[in-house]
Structure 1
Amino acid sequence: MSDSKVKVAVRVRPMNRRELDLNTKCIVEMEGNQTVLQPLPAANKQGGDSR
């Protein structure tokens, strides 16, 4: 195995008006330099595009 390292950059943008109107839940949280992904709500897990 190699000793290479991978760096990942994550940018979380503010919710837009449509997302706010739909009460969309943000599933990405930043805690310092750590990115936390929340589980998807059950209604969105059934596949398909959530748009």
Structure 2
Amino acid sequence: MVGACAGIADELYQHLTPGRFPDVWDWSLDFSGIAISIPFFFWTRKLFSF
């Protein structure tokens, strides 16, 4: 949830940067990356725990 909010904040901040614009598609890709990374993190943590 925090990652999704950070992605939204980043997209809104891009509105203030000249030459950049916020995009829902970019935010959805950010969110997809987070959704894929979380299970991968726990899987590798379990795989390499000693």
Same fold (TM over 0.5): no
Q: Which has the higher helix share?
A: 2
Q: Which has the higher strand share?
A: 1
Normalising by the residue count of structure 1, what TM-score does the alignment of the two structures yield? Answer: 0.22
Q: Which has the higher contact order (CA 8 A, sep 6+)?
A: 2
